[in-house]
């Protein structure tokens, strides 16, 4: 269908909706849209008795018409009702959805306002269908473009089977469609405005920020208009009313100046909404009257600032296009969607999504023209994930801080719908609910990378709903506005490095309050309706907390009297500022920050005094422990001496810091303990830390507050060092962070340092830290010091559908460090307090909306019988696996997680007595692994061994940058010599044959499991042992050539004497060769004839090499490689390094039957061809048909494991699915 045809349909639907003033109008709409053969006679009505509604609903309904019945499967009902309340519509829609196969009820009370409701089902638990309602609200007097567009998409040209039609209707009511179109239109308007601004000021950043602020303000006016607080014309938006009056007054005439922005809009923004409008003779009387009655919003959104002082003018033509070409096309609603009720309209949540996405990409591309911009995607944390994370965090917080049973807490926090909430109120006593309320009122929660505020809004929503349950138990109603306002003031904190993000968060929180504000129109000017949020929402770098290289942690301080009083005074003024700026001494965030700097200098003085007093303490002060006293040991005395030296240096640095701040206050970064002093000094840190930190690869990490164009390589290096130093300062137990760490790794460490001793940590991030090398330090730190409550993966649905990112949700408790105290000196004990904690890895096989419930999560915590369970015990570790239809949970002690990847040294004397932790594959082993992997492990028990347990894996041949010297092509054999070519310079030399050995360079030349000389493809490696070399040898000429070309200066040869002496591995050969990467062919090579190899790890095995080769080439090994390898090499390649190979599980080769040598001469193929499955067809709809020799090889291992035919199929299917997913993902980018 062409865009012109789509526009014609949309126009027809719009006209029909505008004229729909009777039942016949709705019938005509569906007849025009192609359903004339299915519509019923308008005189046909249904009897209420056939629907079995409750009396309350029956009393509200006048008539029910059957508009159409499509193939006896899809029913459209028109319901005349006196009430359009959400609860009434939801009740009736749910009853109808359970009665009809597919139903679209249309509710109306006066045949001008309509609610089109599309119910859909999710199966949360077997037999328990969860209904989601998507609503399209239509006002015939003001039909929006988005309304007509949605209904035009149900249009059909010809009759089709009902499932196709119903899917088309679901697509027509898709919120994503509206979001994507809104984002596209917003983006176009944004860059048009910014282009005009750039013509007036030569500053891209300011132009960008100005445009964001303008669009933000305009959207907020549309939302405020929905409250009915702006006096305009009935039936049109307030902005449209202003615009129409302006045009009638002569605006847009050629001889008229562009005045709409400068006089009409800026006056509304800066005067009216700040209760400062005293009249304006340049404005028409009706507008002045309207402005004088506008609400006093108070929040910082409409304050004059440095951007408004730039003197920017926006032309009338541009403004007209923004209003009529964009804002007027969409229906705005102030109520955000819930997971079970959605509206086809622009809500605050959608604004957050769009605003965050556009701001992110636009800032990176702010110096580019529109035509050169790439297509932008929309990336945000979906609501289902947000609400699961919020609720799961609140469960831990309440469990830590109340005496209520945890399963009750789950049911309270995860209750959804009237029935579940009523059950909760019956189950919990009034005293328990009161305890919950008071505990939540004390909660301090923060998002350290808050973006557009999705998690902050989620916390407000969930906590306020819990408060509502408390009030219902009391028999009273909750003032939702005051409740949410108090939650924001007492419990909500956010930080982001970008100013746009704080603006977006502020907007979302304002709108949360606006929804609930029920102030009579006559009182909207008497007091500030919205609070000032900037004391709780801060712009700053959440990670780097240094000033000229000095790091400061206020939580170490016990504030002295005056300093504490100063902090309390600041907090009192912040509270006044929150309520109403006019009642506070602070006029803005700058005033607060000035006071905070004074407080910070006092805190530094307190710290210096405290450290000086500690220096005066005697080294021999005794320790008191468990009622006994003892003097420090010699080692402990040495630690105290070291600490004293460090303390003297610290005092010097603090003195410098105090002077620096006094001289240059702009050096002061956002310091957590200063900006939120009341949280850290009174609460010891945050109770809940939650968020979705940015994902940035290590090479792209750079100082966030510097112009990207001016950032140098050294700037990046310095910033990364500061990131690492900041972590080590806050968490001394972390000695190293891998240089290739993703940016979010620093957020993990820093976030854990910000919560108090009973705090809860919850992030959604890329899952790469579970398997990548750079996750090693985080994994080790967690195992030793942090209780891992849960790591959750959803394999049914990606969190970020538009981004090539796989995610996990992590829930942790607070770090636990144990210390000894000798007077004022604390010494860290070398203990790992959390190794006994049981970590849980949960793999959800259905979308969160369908699987998450209070009972399921409570059962997971307590190992209920609703799960099938089995214990898996391997040679080095053991764990439990619990399964149900929709999920799998793996529970393992953190000590076992450490042991599973502990690499012991030679002098092992007990567990962890020597060696170190190496990065494990938590994601591959506990989350991505298919069920058959665990079933095989459980069935095989200790008969399965890790490759590392019996065999040493050697590294590959590395010449140290001199491959082109050592690796030559043999062109001709001449008796005892050969003519070889240096391939880099294409020169020939004569060399003794005794110094040349066939070289197997890479797997690409190998076609069989067994390596043969033909596989070398005439490639040779030069191996000249110094003991055999004579200067008269013909190879001397080639060595001289090597010196001439400076091969001897390269890293490897320069360290050897003589330089041409080959590396040790060039003189050794191994029986088993392990490739370093794979595509779709899984072959590990058998090298019985001892050829030298280059790009292969090696296993030296003289006793049973054939059995080992057979075991390693089974499809079970392919399964292990797909789980334990790295799939981030590009082009879909699977990388395998030494630690990955060490984890491969196999049957001990000594227990296998000796394989036939013919098996190793077989030609190998892609894994799909090997196991007889086609990649481009649904894998599980095919029957595995492995090649005969592949089957023979697999049967050796499968027979030893005792696998059934069904289990063997599962292995084949699982491997094929993993390889397909890896390759498909690479090809989709």
d(CA 1091, CA 1068): 9
Instruction: Give mean pLDDT, residues 964-993.
Output: 95
Which tokens in the block code for residue 1071? 């029986």
For 609-630, what is the mean pLDDT? 61
Tokens for 275, please give them: 């209760």
Which runs of consecutive H residues, i.e. helices, occur in 226-347? 238-248, 266-270, 285-292, 316-324
- Among 24, 99, 35, 94, residue whose Cα is nearest residue 65: 24
Spatial separation of the C-alpha atoms in residues 605 and 1202, rounded to whole Å: 72
Q: Of 742, 1127, 856, which is closest to residue 125 (Cα–Cα)?
A: 856
State the pLDDT at residue 816: 92
Q: Tell me the pLDDT band of 336, cut-offs 50, 70 and 90.
A: low
pLDDT digits (tens, 9 = 90+) for 486-541: 999 999 999 998 877 788 788 888 878 877 766 666 666 666 667 788 889 998 89
Mean pLDDT for 917-921 is: 87
Q: Provide CB contacts within 8 A for 669, sequence distance 6+.
A: 540, 541, 544, 545, 546, 547
Q: Of 69-73, 231-235, 454-458, give the lowest mean pLDDT range.
A: 231-235
Higher pLDDT, 632 or 873: 873
Instruction: Let me know if 518 is exposed, middle or buried by CB neighbors in 10 A (0-12, 13-18, 19+).
Output: exposed
Helix (H) or strand (E) holding 980: strand 977-982
Cα separation, 677 vs 573, in Å, equals 13
Instruction: State the Cα–Cα distance between residues 1034 and 1053, nearest whole angstrom.
Output: 20
pLDDT at 428: 94
Phi–psi pair at 11, nearest 5 degrees: -65, -40
- For the chain, how big is the Rg over CA atoms in Å? 35
Per-residue pLDDT, averaged over 809-836, amounts to 74
pLDDT of 915 above 80: yes
**Whole-number Cα distances in Å, 213 to 539, 636, 707, 882:** 16, 58, 20, 51
Question: H or E element: which one contains 664?
Answer: none
Q: At residue 444, what are phi and psi to the nearest 5 degrees?
A: -115, 120
Per domain, the residue ranges of the chain are: 3-173, 179-372, 547-623+632-668, 839-942, 943-953+1102-1229, 959-1062
Among 405-414, 939-948, 1061-1070, the least confident range? 939-948
Written as six digits, the tokens of 600 are 């910070």
Q: Is 460 helix (H, G, I), strand (E, B) or coil?
A: helix
Element (H, E) at 844: strand 838-844
Q: Which two tokens stand for residue 1209?
A: 């199929």
pLDDT at 558 over 90: no
Whether omega for the bond prior to residue 857 falls within 30 degrees of 0, making it cis, is no
263 near 282, Cβ under 8 Å? yes
CA nearest to 104, candidates 49, 47, 162: 162
Q: Answer whether residue 1228 shows pLDDT above 70.
A: no
| Range ranked top by mean pLDDT from 330-334, 698-702, 1019-1023 | 1019-1023
CB-facing half-sphere around the CA of 1040: CA atoms within 13 A: 10
* Strongest mean pLDDT among 186-195, 322-331, 470-479, 1178-1187: 1178-1187
Q: Which of 548, 799, 495, 804 has the alpha carbon at shortest distance from 664?
A: 548
Given a cut of 80, whether residue 334 has pLDDT beyond it is: no
The answer to whether residue 308 scores a pLDDT higher than 50 is yes
- pLDDT classification of 988: cutoffs 50, 70, 90: very high
**In this predicted model, what pLDDT tens digit does every residue of 8-43 receive, in sequence order?**
999 999 999 999 999 999 999 999 999 999 999 888
Structure tokens at 964: 């082109």
pLDDT at position 1131: 72
Instruction: Give pLDDT, residue 939.
Output: 78
State the number of CA atoms in the 13 A half-sphere of 281 facing the CB: 0
Helices marked H in 731-833? 743-754, 776-785
Percent of the chain with pLDDT over 70: 88
Q: What is the pLDDT of residue 368?
A: 41
Which pLDDT belongs to residue 554? 58
What whole-number distance in Å separates Cα of residue 433 and Cα of residue 440?
A: 11
User: CA 453 to CA 449: how far, in whole Å?
Assistant: 9
The pLDDT of residue 1 is 62
Residue ranges in 1092-1202 assigned as alpha helix (H)? 1105-1112, 1115-1124, 1138-1142, 1167-1171, 1188-1201
Tell me which residue of 1108, 1116, 1051 sits closest to 1082, measured CA to CA: 1116
pLDDT band at 1108 (very low <50, low <70, confident <90, very high): very high
Tokens of 273: 């909404």
Q: Are 260 and 278 in contact (CB under 8 A)?
A: no
CA-closest candidate to residue 1088, choices 1172, 1159, 1171, 1187: 1159
Q: What is the pLDDT of residue 59?
A: 93
pLDDT score of 638 more than 80: no
3-state secondary structure of 935: helix
CB-based contacts of 436, cutoff 8 Å, min separation 6: 398, 402, 404, 409, 412, 428, 466, 470
For range 320-340, the mean pLDDT: 80
- What angle, 0 to 180 degrees and rounded to 10, lies between the N-to-C axes of helices 238-248 and 204-225? 110
173: which residues sit within 8 A by CB, 6+ positions away?
Answer: 116, 118, 134, 136, 150, 344
Between the alpha carbon of residue 744 and those of residues 380, 522, 563, 691, the distances in Å are 16, 49, 35, 11
Least confident of 546-560, 562-576, 629-643, 768-782: 546-560
Q: What are phi and psi of 494, to 5 degrees?
A: -150, 145
Q: 108 Cβ partners below 8 Å, 6+ apart?
A: 78, 79, 80, 81, 84, 114, 115
Q: Name the token pair of 155.
A: 């249009």
- The Cα 146–Cα 840 span in angstroms is 45
Cα-flanking dihedrals φ and ψ of residue 763, to 5°? Answer: -130, 150
Question: Judging by beta carbons within 10 Å of its beta carbon (0-12, 13-18, 19+), is residue 100 exposed, middle or buried?
Answer: middle
Element housing 38 (H / E): none
pLDDT for the residue numbered 493: 95
Tell me the per-residue pLDDT of 588-612, one tens digit each, with 9 for 90 and over.
788 888 888 888 888 788 878 877 8
- Average pLDDT of the chain, as a whole number: 85
pTM strictly above 0.75: yes
Q: Which pLDDT does position 642 carry in this prediction?
A: 77
Q: Per-residue pLDDT averaged across 319-348, rounded? A: 79
Share of the chain above pLDDT 90, in %: 46
Helices (H) and strands (E) in the chain, counts: 43, 39
pLDDT band at 821, cuts 50/70/90?
very low
Q: What's residue 662's pLDDT?
A: 65
Judged against a pLDDT cut of 50, whether residue 624 lies above it is answered with no
pLDDT tens-digit readout, 212-251: 889 888 988 988 888 888 888 877 899 999 999 998 887 6
Q: Are strands 128-139 and 1145-1147 parallel, antiparallel or unpaired?
A: unpaired
The DSSP bridge pattern shows strands 807-813 and 755-766 to be antiparallel
Tokens representing residue 395 in the block: 């469960």
**How many angstroms separate the CA atoms of 1203 and 1196, rounded?**
11
Q: Angle at Cα 252 formed by Cα 246 and Cα 254, nearest 5°?
A: 145
């Amino acid at each position: 269908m062409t865009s012109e045809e789509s526009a014609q349909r949309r126009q027809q639907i719009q006209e029909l909706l505008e004229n729909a003033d009777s039942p016949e109008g709705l019938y005509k709409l569906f007849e025009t849209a192609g359903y004339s053969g299915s519509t019923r006679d308008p005189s046909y009505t249904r009897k209420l008795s056939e629907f079995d509604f409750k009396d309350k609903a029956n009393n509200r309904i006048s008539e029910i018409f059957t508009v159409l019945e499509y193939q006896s499967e899809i029913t459209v009902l028109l319901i005349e009702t006196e009430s359009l309340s959400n609860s009434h519509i939801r009740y009736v829609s749910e009853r109808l959805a359970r009665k009809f196969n597919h139903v679209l009820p249309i509710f109306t009370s006066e045949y001008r306002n309509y609610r089109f409701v599309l119910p859909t089902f999710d199966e949360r638990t077997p037999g328990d269908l969860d209904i989601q309602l998507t609503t399209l609200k239509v006002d015939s007097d003001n039909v929006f473009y988005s309304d007509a567009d949605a209904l035009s998409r149900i249009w059909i040209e010809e009759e089709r089977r009902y499932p196709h039609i119903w899917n088309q209707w679901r697509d027509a009511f898709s919120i994503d469609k509206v979001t994507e179109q809104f984002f596209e239109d917003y983006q176009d308007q944004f860059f048009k405005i910014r282009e005009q601004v750039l013509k007036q000021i030569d500053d891209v950043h300011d132009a960008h920020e100005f445009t964001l602020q303008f669009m933000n303000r305009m959207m907020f006016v549309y939302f405020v208009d929905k409250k009915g607080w702006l006096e305009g014309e009935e039936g049109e938006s307030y902005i449209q009313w202003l615009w129409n009056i302006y045009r009638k007054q002569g605006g847009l005439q050629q001889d008229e100046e562009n005045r709409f922005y400068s006089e009409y809009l800026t006056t509304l923004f800066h005067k009216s909404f700040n209760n400062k409008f005293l009249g304006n003779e340049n404005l028409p009387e009706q507008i002045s009257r309207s402005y004088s009655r506008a609400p006093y919003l108070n929040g910082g959104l409409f304050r004059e600032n440095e951007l408004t002082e730039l003197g920017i003018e926006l032309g009338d033509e541009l403004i007209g296009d923004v209003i009529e070409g964009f804002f007027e096309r969409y229906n705005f609603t102030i109520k955000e969607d819930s997971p079970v009720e959605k509206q086809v309209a622009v809500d605050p949540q959608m604004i957050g999504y769009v605003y965050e996405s556009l701001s992110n990409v636009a800032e990176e591309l702010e110096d580019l023209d529109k035509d050169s911009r790439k297509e932008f995607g929309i990336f945000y944390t979906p609501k289902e994930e947000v609400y699961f994370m919020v609720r799961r965090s609140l469960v831990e917080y309440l469990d830590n801080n109340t005496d209520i049973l945890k399963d009750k807490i789950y049911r309270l926090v995860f209750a959804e719908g009237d029935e579940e909430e009523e059950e909760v109120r019956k189950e919990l006593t009034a005293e328990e609910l009161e305890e919950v309320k008071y505990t939540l009122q004390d909660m301090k929660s923060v998002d350290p990378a808050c973006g557009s505020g999705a998690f902050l809004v989620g916390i407000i929503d969930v906590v306020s709903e819990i408060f509502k349950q408390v009030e219902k138990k009391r028999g009273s109603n909750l003032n939702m506005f005051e409740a949410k306002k108090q939650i924001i003031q007492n419990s909500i904190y956010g930080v982001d490095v970008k100013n746009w993000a704080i603006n977006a968060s502020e907007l979302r929180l304002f709108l949360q309050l606006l929804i609930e504000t029920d102030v009579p129109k006559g009182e909207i000017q008497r007091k500030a309706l919205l609070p000032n949020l900037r004391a709780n929402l801060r712009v700053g770098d959440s990670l780097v907390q240094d000033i000229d290289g000095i790091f400061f942690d206020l939580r170490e301080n016990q504030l002295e009297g005056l300093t504490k009083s100063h902090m309390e005074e600041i907090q009192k003024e912040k509270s006044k500022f929150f309520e109403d700026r006019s009642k506070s001494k602070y006029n803005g965030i700058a005033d607060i920050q000035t006071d905070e700097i004074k407080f910070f200098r006092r805190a530094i003085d307190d710290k210096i005094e405290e450290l000086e007093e500690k220096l005066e303490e005697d080294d021999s002060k005794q320790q008191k422990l468990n009622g006994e006293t003892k003097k420090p040991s010699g080692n402990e005395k040495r630690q105290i001496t070291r600490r004293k030296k460090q303390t003297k240096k610290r005092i010097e640095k603090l003195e410098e810091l105090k002077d620096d701040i006094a001289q240059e206050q702009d050096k002061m970064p956002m310091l957590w303990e200063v900006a939120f002093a009341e949280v850290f000094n009174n609460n010891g840190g945050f109770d809940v830390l939650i968020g979705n930190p940015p994902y940035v690869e290590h090479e792209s990490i750079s100082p966030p507050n510097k112009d990207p164009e001016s950032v140098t390589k050294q700037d990046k290096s310095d910033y990364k060092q500061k990131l690492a130093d900041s972590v080590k300062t806050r968490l001394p137990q972390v000695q190293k962070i891998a240089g290739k760490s993703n940016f979010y790794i620093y957020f993990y460490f820093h976030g854990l340092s910000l919560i108090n001793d009973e705090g809860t940590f919850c992030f959604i991030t890329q899952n790469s830290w579970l398997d990548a090398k750079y996750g090693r330090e985080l994994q080790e730190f967690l195992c030793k010091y942090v209780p891992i409550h849960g790591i959750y993966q959803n394999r049914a649905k990606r969190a970020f559908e538009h981004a090539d990112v796989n995610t996990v949700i992590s829930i942790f408790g607070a770090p636990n460090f144990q210390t000894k105290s000798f007077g004022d000196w604390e010494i860290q004990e070398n203990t790992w307090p959390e190794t006994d904690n049981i970590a849980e890895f949960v793999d959800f096989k259905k979308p969160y909306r369908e699987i998450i419930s209070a009972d399921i999560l409570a059962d997971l915590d307590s190992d209920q019988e609703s799960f099938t369970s089995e214990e898996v015990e391997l040679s080095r570790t053991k764990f439990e696996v619990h399964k149900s239809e929709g999920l799998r949970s793996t529970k393992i002690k953190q000590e076992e997680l450490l042991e599973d990847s502990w690499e012991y040294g030679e002098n092992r004397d007990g567990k962890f007595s020597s060696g170190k932790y190496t990065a494990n594959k938590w994601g591959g082993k506990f989350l991505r692994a298919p069920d058959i992997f665990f079933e095989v492990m459980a069935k095989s028990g200790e008969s399965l061994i890790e490759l590392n347990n019996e065999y040493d894996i050697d590294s590959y041949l590395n010449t140290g940058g001199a491959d082109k010297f050592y690796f030559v092509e043999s062109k001709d054999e001449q008796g005892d010599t050969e003519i070889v070519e240096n391939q880099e310079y294409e020169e020939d030399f004569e060399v003794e044959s005794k110094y040349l050995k066939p070289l197997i360079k890479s797997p690409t030349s190998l076609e069989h499991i067994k390596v043969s000389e033909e596989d070398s493809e005439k490639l040779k490696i030069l191996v000249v042992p110094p003991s055999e070399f004579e200067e008269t040898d013909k190879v001397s000429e080639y060595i001289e050539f090597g010196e001439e070309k400076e091969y001897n200066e390269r890293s490897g040869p320069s360290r050897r004497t003589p330089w041409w002496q080959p590396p040790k591995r060039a003189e050794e050969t191994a029986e088993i060769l392990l490739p370093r990467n794979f595509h779709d062919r899984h072959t590990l090579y058998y090298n019985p004839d001892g050829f030298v190899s280059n790009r292969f790890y090696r296993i030296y095995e003289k006793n049973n090499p054939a059995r080992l080769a057979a075991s390693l080439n089974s499809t079970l090994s392919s399964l292990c490689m797909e789980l334990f390898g790295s799939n981030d090499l590009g082009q879909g390649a699977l990388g395998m390094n030494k630690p990955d190979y060490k984890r491969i599980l196999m049957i001990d080769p000594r227990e296998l039957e000796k394989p036939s040598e013919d098996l190793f001469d077989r030609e190998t193929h892609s894994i799909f061809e090997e196991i007889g499955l086609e990649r481009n067809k649904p894998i599980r709809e095919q029957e595995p048909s492995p090649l005969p020799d592949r089957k023979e090889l697999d049967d050796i291992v499968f027979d030893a494991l005792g696998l059934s035919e069904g289990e063997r199929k599962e292995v084949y299917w699982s491997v094929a699915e993993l390889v397909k997913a890896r390759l498909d993902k690479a090809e989709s980018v």
